[in-house]
Amino acid sequence: MLSQTHIDTVKATIPVLASAGTAITEHFYNRMFTHNPELKDVFNMSHQATGRQPAALFNAIAAYATHIDNLEVLTGAVMRIAHKHTSFNIQPDQYDIVGHHLIETLRELVGDAFTPEIEEAWVAAYQQLADIFIQIEGDLYKANAAKQGGWDDFRKFRVIKKQPESELVTSFVLEPVDGGAVIDYQPGQYLGIKVHPTNHEFDEIRQYSLSTAPNGKNYRISVKRELSDVKNGVVSNYLHESVQEGDEVALMPPAGDFCYQERERPVVLISAGVGLTPMNAMLDTLAAQSSKNPIFYLHACRNPQQHSFAKHVASLADTLALTYYTWYETDAPENTDHVLAGQMQLAQVAEVLPLNDGDFYLCGPVGFMMFIKEQLLSLGVTEDRIHYEVFGPHQSF
């Protein structure tokens, strides 16, 4: 049970955490993977190599310590993390392992200053946090299992179609090997997919956004092949190069709290690169609903060769109240409707956007979304109408 003394003690250690920085979480992960290497089948080891996961964990620990006496502030972040955990099939016993290595890390790094009183407080604080996640994730697993076509563990799916969408993006249509139905999902959600790449020591789990409207029979993900850094592209390259129609993968049920919120108001879908995948799911869902709401689809892309779903989006303009624009950094065709050159500048189309009453959905690299959010705020869009998704360990901006 977390007491006021525990709370005061944890908050008093915040300066110690701040001074140590990500050294704490880097030490933690090294320790945990040394003693429990089986967890390498669960964690994204690419994020370990780049430092993104240790940084994300440090920020989460610091935020928890700061707001331990007012956890409602963290509700959104907790739900976002819980959804991500269910896509990895995280189980309660794994929280015991994580907790053990977290406390031992603090003991080893803080040294004699890590008194029995501080240890007791952090053990109680961690257990409170673990119990919150275990409860929420347990409810999510149960809810998914109870739905039509539902399940609560990795389920085998077969690739029934592999379709290139652009120079770097390929779509995979997946149907369950058992022939059963699948759970419907909210447009904007993602799937956790588990594979074992050739000549690779561990299983790899990644999350990919669902890229079309739900149909109750199968799923479609659209995967960008990462070329800049092989370490960051283990799974995407494996899917592109090795996984073929007829092959099997394992999936967790759809997850994620970045979803289209159905309202009688204009919708603006803004993306860059492969960030268009959840936007395409939202757009296809609006088309399936024969939506009468004004819809705006704004996309930024490096060049026409890397532009996925371009013809598909244009075709929907005949049936929806759809306005669409694309910005190409290079090779933008001249004198072409709906095409602009360079970086996305919303001022160029501001006069047609529903700045006063629209909902704005953003997905793409963090730098791009920060750039767009700043533009939206400067144009008068209120922050509560700006919704976003970040690939990888979650970040706020």
Helix (H, G, I), strand (E, B) or coil at 255: strand
Residue 93 Cα distances to 106, 124, 279, 309, 318, angstroms: 21, 17, 36, 42, 53
Q: Annotation-wise, does 278 bind a ligand?
A: yes
Is 274 annotated among the ligand-binding residues?
A: yes
- 18: part of which helix (H) or strand (E)? helix 14-20
Q: Which of 139, 155, 10 is nearest to 79 (CA)?
A: 139
SS3 301: strand
User: According to the annotation, is 361 in a ligand binding site?
Assistant: no
The region that residue 45 occupies, defined by phi over 0 for left and psi between -120 and 50 for alpha, beta otherwise, is alpha
Residue 123 marked ligand-binding: no
Is 209 a known ligand-binding residue? Answer: yes
Is 388 considered catalytic here? no
d(CA 304, CA 298): 14
Q: Is 75 annotated as a binding residue?
A: no
Strand pairing partners for 334? none
Is 361 one of the catalytic residues?
Answer: no
Contact between residue 140 and residue 257 where contact means Cβ atoms under 8 Å apart: no
**Is 273 known as a binding-site position?**
yes
CA distances in angstroms from 221 to 107, 145, 208, 209, 214, listed in the order given = 43, 21, 6, 6, 12
d(CA 364, CA 156): 29
- 216 known ligand binder: no
One-letter amino acid of 301: C
207 is in an annotated binding site: yes
Per the annotation, does 392 bind a ligand? Answer: yes
Among residues 26, 29, 126, 137, which one is catalytic?
Answer: 137
Interatomic CA distance for residues 301 and 331, integer angstroms: 10
**Nearest in space to 186 (alpha carbons), one of 281, 308, 269, 316:** 281
Q: Terminus-to-terminus CA distance in the chain, angstroms?
A: 34
Instruction: Kindly give, in sequence order, each residue whose CB lies less than 8 Å from that of residue 311, ignoring residues fewer than 6 positions away.
Output: none
Given 64, 95, 238, 325, which residue is catalytic?
A: 95
Binding-site residues for FAD: 190, 206-209, 390-393
Binding site residues for NADP(+), as ranges? Answer: 273-278
State the binding site: 85, 190, 206-209, 273-278, 390-393
Annotated binding site for heme b: 85
Q: Which residues are catalytic?
A: 95, 137
